[in-house]
């Protein structure tokens, strides 16, 4: 149902590998030494199991921007592995949803041009959650995240539990993934 809702909202589905390199793991604030390792990786960029979907989606945004795409609305649904996960232990795997918006947001002809921002993504998330439940979404500020821009991010809480994070990508992280300016924002569901 989530996939159908995202496509109906105008998003394209991204699909990335479940294994990433050590540099992207460090970029999203995970220690690659704690991640499950691939026994015989195809390349050095595919040595550890991903701790979250964020690196793959950010790479997809960067590739789309390099190909000249202006407005980007992507999502990915997939598995991520907890630090210290053991092979075959299902409790160490979790399903996540990642959403990315980047570039100019569609506007009415009377409105000034603008880039996607934190509030655009928050609206998408609220819309998704109201389809599943009448419970309200609450957002608590994130203050010291190396992944999200200070003052433009929050921790998502729904039905009494933390479900993820929402925010504009930190400028340093955007540089790591060759992202252009213009509101690359993300949600990672736990």
Over residues 12-25, the pLDDT tens digits come to: 999 999 888 888 88
Residue 181's pLDDT is: 66
Instruction: Work out the widest C-alpha separation in the chain, in whole angstroms.
Output: 56
CA distance 144 to 124: 24
Q: Which residues of 23-50 are buried (b: 16+ CB within 10 A; e: fewer)?
A: ebbebbebebeebbebeeeeeeeebbbb
Of the ranges 50-54, 106-110, 181-185, the best mean pLDDT one: 50-54
Percent of the chain with pLDDT over 90: 18
Tens digit of each residue's pLDDT (9 = 90 or more) over 40-55 = 888 888 888 888 899 9
pTM metric for this prediction: 0.87
In which band, very low, low, confident or very high, does the pLDDT at 77 lie, cut at 50, 70 and 90? very high
Half-sphere exposure of 166 (CA within 13 A, CB side): 22
State mean pLDDT over 169-173. Answer: 84
**Is there a contact between 48 and 37 (Cβ–Cβ < 8 Å)?**
yes
Residue 1's pLDDT is: 78
> Judging by DSSP bridges, how do beta strands 72-81 and 93-102 pair with one another?
antiparallel
Both tokens assigned to 15: 């699909």
């Amino acid at each position: 149902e989530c996939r159908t809702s995202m496509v109906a909202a105008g998003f394209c589905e991204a699909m990335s590998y479940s294994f990433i390199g050590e540099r992207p793991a460090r970029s999203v604030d995970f220690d690659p030494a704690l991640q499950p390792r691939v026994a015989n990786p195809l390349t050095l960029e595919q040595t550890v199991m991903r701790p979250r979907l964020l690196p793959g989606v950010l790479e997809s945004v960067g590739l789309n921007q390099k190909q000249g795409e202006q407005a980007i609305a992507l999502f990915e649904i997939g598995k991520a592995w907890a630090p210290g996960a053991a092979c075959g232990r299902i409790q160490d795997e979790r399903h996540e949803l990642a959403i990315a918006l980047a570039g100019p947001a569609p506007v009415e002809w009377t409105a000034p041009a603008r880039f996607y921002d934190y509030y655009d993504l928050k609206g998408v998330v609220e819309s998704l959650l109201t389809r599943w439940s009448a419970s309200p979404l609450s957002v608590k500020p994130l203050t010291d995240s190396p992944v999200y821009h200070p003052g433009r991010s929050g921790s998502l809480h729904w039905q009494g539990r933390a479900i993820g994070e929402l925010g504009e990508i930190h400028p340093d992280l955007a540089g790591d993934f060759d992202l252009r300016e213009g509101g690359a924002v993300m949600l990672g569901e736990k």
